[in-house]
């Protein structure tokens, strides 16, 4: 019998009643391994109601006790790391080591959230006037929601609920229907860690569930990560319904390689960050921009054998560099971009489209592809491919190279490789992209900094985790108080000033 994945509402598993479900595939075999229930609007509303009911007590739980729950949750996730990684790998297709990385990056946000008593401290001014003190405090918003993509089924839910719940909010998570098991398991572990029922709920679903979240008046804020077209829709709809919204979208990250770069490092970094996780990362590096013909030629010569020898295998194979793509549909889309690149006149130096893994012929496996002589006017350059494909766009000089990421529709991450501190500094300062790596391929900021791109990579202007995350999930209240009340000076019809 096919396994069913339902909802986790008010501390218990709740069977879906919609009669609608989605297929959860095993990307290694292409087989349907489970059915995920797709919630009705009423089912989503019951999760929102559970979160609303849990809010007053959770908000009143002092921040140190809330932090203790997060500490315990962190221990339980660590204890269950192997099981979670296997579950993640089995639905997403990332290799086990990378699945553990996905969980670990989420845990680092939980570690950050354990500092919430300090992070939520307000400000105080004694004696702002005669007997007058002014103070401000950060308060949770209430019920908030997160809508997450398939490619980081552990890290991204933890980015969101880790900070939101530590701040005293209650949470409704709507994970990707492609790999929902890990978020469900995280919710169970949160309960086991002492999280009260209703504080963390998971509803599985599709557009119907998302639209309910976006329009329900109880939900105060929505955090979204996924593709840009949906991010735009989430931002427009959520804000039109009076919610605070942060919506992260797609990406096309460039590595600028100056002639003085350490090419050994560049090649190692490009191979890992373009092909790791089959390129299904929003901080992957799918575009390399060598500056000058000589370094461009040398880069292609060195990359070609490395791409040809990538080890593609089942996600549980410890020797595999990367595993299958998430679904057949997604693999067809990625291959379609490769076809398009060829049709547009780019040189396909390594063609991985026909790769097939012996014994797993029905799995979603694809070999690495390498393009040379890609140009900025090609559609295959303009769009996010999200697969194991690296495109080389050659530039004659530094200015032309930097213009590429700066003018691209996406502005998530970018990297520069150079030994020249001046060039690196000028680049970091002026490139029109939100996250910059200097001799670092995947500059995903650590949990106590903050994550977010620019342009079509993020809508809403407030980043994930770090101090920005705390700001997103709290509102500030400022109190001006007068004690003692004895001094009286009659009514004042002029606005009080400090003159």
Among 16, 93, 183, 226, binds ligand NAD (CB under 6 A): 226
Among 151, 212, 253, 321, binds ligand NAD (CB under 6 A): 151
Residues 363, 372: contact at Cβ < 8 Å?
no
Q: Which stretch binds ligand NAD (CB under 6 A): 73-81, 128-136, 205-213, 298-306?
A: 205-213
* CB-nearer residue toward ligand NAD: 55 or 159: 159
* CB-nearer residue toward ligand NAD: 216 or 372: 216
Residues 221, 473: contact at Cβ < 8 Å?
yes
* CB-nearer residue toward ligand NAD: 334 or 349: 334
Query: Between helices 181-192 and 81-92, what is the axis angle to 10°?
Result: 160
Q: 416 phi and psi, to 5 degrees?
A: -125, 140
Among 27, 157, 250, 286, binds ligand NAD (CB under 6 A): 250
CB of residue 452 vs ligand NAD: minimum separation in angstroms? 7
Among 248, 267, 278, 307, binds ligand NAD (CB under 6 A): 248
If one counts every other C-beta atom within 10 angstroms of the C-beta of residue 118, the result is 9
Q: How far apart are CA 14 and CA 209, in angstroms?
A: 15
Helix then strand count (H, E) for the chain reads 16, 23
Is residue 210 involved in binding ligand NAD (CB under 6 A)?
Answer: yes
Active site residues: 282
Quote the DSSP letter at residue 195: P
Residues 403-442: x/- map of binding to ligand NAD (CB under 6 A)?
---------x------------------------------
Task: Report the chain's terminal Cα–Cα distance, integer Å.
Answer: 77
Q: How far apart are CA 332 and CA 339, in angstroms?
A: 10
Residues 138, 474: contact at Cβ < 8 Å?
yes
* CB-nearer residue toward ligand NAD: 232 or 420: 232
Record the tokens describing residue 300, joined without a space: 């292609």
Map the footprint of ligand NAD across residues 272-331, applying CB under 6 A.
Answer: 282
Is residue 249 involved in binding ligand NAD (CB under 6 A)?
Answer: yes
Residues 125-144: x/- map of binding to ligand NAD (CB under 6 A)?
--------------------
CB of residue 222 vs ligand NAD: minimum separation in angstroms? 11
Quote the DSSP letter at residue 278: G
From residue 210, alpha-carbon distances to 262, 291, 331, 436 in Å are 46, 44, 25, 32
Name the site residues for ligand NAD (rule: CB under 6 A): 147-152, 174, 176-177, 206-207, 210, 225-227, 230, 248-251, 282, 384, 386, 412, 453, 457
């Amino acid at each position: 019998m096919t396994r069913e994945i339902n909802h986790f509402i008010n501390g218990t598993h709740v069977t879906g009643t919609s009669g609608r479900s989605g297929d959860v595939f095993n990307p290694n075999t292409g087989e349907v391994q489970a059915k995920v229930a797709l919630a009705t609007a009423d089912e989503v509303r019951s999760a929102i109601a559970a979160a609303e009911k849990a809010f007053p007590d959770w908000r009143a739980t002092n921040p140190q006790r809330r932090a203790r729950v997060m500490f315990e949750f962190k221990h339980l996730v660590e204890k269950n790391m192997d099981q979670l990684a296997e579950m993640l790998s089995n639905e997403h297709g990332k290799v086990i080591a990378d699945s553990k990385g996905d969980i670990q990056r989420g845990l680092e946000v939980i570690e950050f959230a354990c500092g919430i008593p300090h992070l939520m401290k307000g400000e105080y001014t004694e004696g702002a006037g005669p007997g007058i003190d002014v103070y401000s405090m950060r308060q949770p918003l209430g019920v908030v929601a997160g809508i997450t993509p398939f490619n980081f089924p552990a890290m991204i839910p933890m980015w969101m609920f880790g900070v939101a719940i530590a701040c005293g909010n209650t949470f409704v998570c709507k994970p990707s229907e492609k790999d929902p098991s890990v978020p469900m398991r995280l919710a169970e572990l949160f309960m086991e860690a002492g999280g009260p029922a209703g504080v963390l709920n998971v509803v599985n679903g599709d557009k119907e569930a998302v639209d309910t979240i976006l329009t329900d008046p109880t939900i105060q804020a929505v955090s979204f990560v996924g593709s840009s077209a949906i991010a735009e829709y989430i931002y427009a709809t959520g804000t039109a319904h009076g919610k605070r919204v942060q919506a992260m979208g797609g990406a096309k990250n460039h590595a600028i390689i100056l002639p003085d770069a350490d090419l050994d490092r560049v090649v190692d970094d490009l191979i890992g960050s373009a092909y790791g996780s089959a390129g299904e990362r929003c901080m992957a590096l799918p575009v390399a921009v060598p500056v000058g013909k000589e370094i461009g030629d040398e880069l292609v010569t060195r990359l070609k054998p490395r791409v040809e020898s990538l080890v593609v295998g089942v996600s549980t194979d410890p020797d595999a560099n990367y595993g299958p793509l998430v679904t057949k549909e997604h693999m067809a889309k990625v291959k379609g971009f490769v076809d398009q690149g060829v049709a547009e006149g780019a040189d396909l130096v390594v063609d991985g489209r026909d790769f097939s893994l012996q014994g797993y012929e029905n799995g979603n496996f694809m070999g690495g592809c390498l393009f040379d002589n890609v140009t900025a006017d090609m559609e295959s350059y303009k769009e996010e491919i999200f697969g194991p494909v690296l495109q080389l766009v050659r530039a004659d000089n530094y200015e032309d190279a930097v213009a590429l990421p700066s003018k691209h529709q996406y502005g998530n991450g970018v990297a520069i490789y150079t030994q020249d501190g001046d060039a690196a500094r000028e680049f970091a300062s002026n490139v029109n992209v939100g996250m910059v790596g200097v001799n670092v391929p995947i500059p995903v900021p650590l949990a106590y900094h903050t994550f977010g791109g620019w342009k079509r990579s993020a809508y809403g202007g407030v980043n994930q985790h770090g101090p920005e995350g705390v700001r997103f999930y709290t509102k500030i209240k400022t109190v001006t108080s007068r004690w003692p009340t004895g001094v009286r000076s009659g009514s004042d019809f002029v606005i009080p000033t400090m003159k």
